[in-house]
Structure 1
């Protein structure tokens, strides 16, 4: 769990921290943010700051960036694109700034000239939309009463 907790951005962790009855974000919001962050990491979309001396990158041409991606990265990019298309642009913008680029909510409000505490509300709306897309809810609901199965043959009665 500690590895997953590191994937939740600080801004979201602060909104979900403390007493669960008083927290602004519910656990399904945290899980949705963690899944979006993991998708972003698998898609390899984070900008590089330093030079990479990887032999596969040194000799390649600039136009072939899409061909060098693994299937996992391409799949993660498609999933992120589907999530972004299903949301309003403002919600996706705030969600991507917080979950993907680790911006603080005050920075987002200043950049967009929004009133105070408005990014917090837009973030919650965006996390609700992502959670509903991914099938996450406030309550854990399992499958209905399924018949139990066994790999052993049915036992014969003893008497």
Structure 2
């Protein structure tokens, strides 16, 4: 995934969100809308950029303290701070209950069944609550499923002036 901060590699097969997005209901409609998936992936990207992902091994590379991230003229620390600020804003916008679920599923990539078991929720509950959390997250990011506006425009209907219209018709 190419971002202003640089290239981030995300394995979509490991994402519980992508798995859930591939599921459809009885009528064939996807369980998650595209804007809900986009919101979850944006949250995951910020989680990754913020450096909150657990490290599974040792890194023998020298830590980056100065220099640009991804060749875009951004300092590495600025990228991390900006990602953490966006995460904090998203968590505040959706509330603490939804935020913890989003962190588990979109950030730490915990599966739906694992979340339900850890929280003592009934089967299929996490799926429904996650959909609500993603809808709230999408609203906080300004993402919508469709363009919304008045049913009928009250603005300009023609670029021609009244004189031009009269000359052509008369």
The TM-score normalised by the length of structure 2 is 0.67
Larger Rg: 2
Match of 2:81 in 1: 74
Distance 1:4 1:47, change over 3 A: closer
Match of 2:15 in 1: 10
Match of 1:61 in 2: none
Task: Quote the offset at 1:73 in angstroms.
Answer: 0.8
Q: Secondary structure at the match of 2:63?
A: helix
User: Are 1:104 and 2:111 matched, yes or no?
Assistant: yes
- Per-residue CA deviations over 1:118-142 (Å, capped at 9, x if unaligned) read 1011101110111001110111469
Match of 1:60 in 2: none
User: Are 1:89 and 2:96 matched, yes or no?
Assistant: yes
Q: Provide the rounded CA distance (Å) in 1 between the counterparts of 2:9 and 2:136.
A: 21
Match of 2:35 in 1: 28
User: Are 1:48 and 2:55 matched, yes or no?
Assistant: yes
Q: Provide the rounded CA distance (Å) in 1 between the counterparts of 2:125 and 2:24.
A: 22
User: Are 1:121 and 2:131 matched, yes or no?
Assistant: no
Q: Provide the rounded CA distance (Å) in 2 between the counterparts of 1:15 and 1:54.
A: 36
Cα RMSD, aligned residues only: 3.0
Task: Quote the offset at 1:53 in angstroms.
Answer: 2.1
Distance 1:4 1:140, change over 3 A: farther
Task: Quote the offset at 1:51 in angstroms.
Answer: 2.2
Tell me which stretches of 4 or more aligned residues in structure 1 moved more than 3 Å: 3-10, 18-21
Contact 2:116 2:125 in 1 (8 A): yes
- Per-residue CA deviations over 1:76-123 (Å, capped at 9, x if unaligned) read 001101111222322111111111111110110000101111101110
Structure 2's unaligned 5+ residue stretches are: 2-7, 65-74, 156-170
Contact 2:50 2:81 in 1 (8 A): yes
Contact 2:24 2:31 in 1 (8 A): no
Q: Provide the rounded CA distance (Å) in 1 between the counterparts of 2:130 and 2:13.
A: 14
The TM-score normalised by the length of structure 1 is 0.71
Structure 1's unaligned 5+ residue stretches are: 58-67, 146-159
Q: Provide the rounded CA distance (Å) in 2 between the counterparts of 1:5 and 1:112.
A: 27
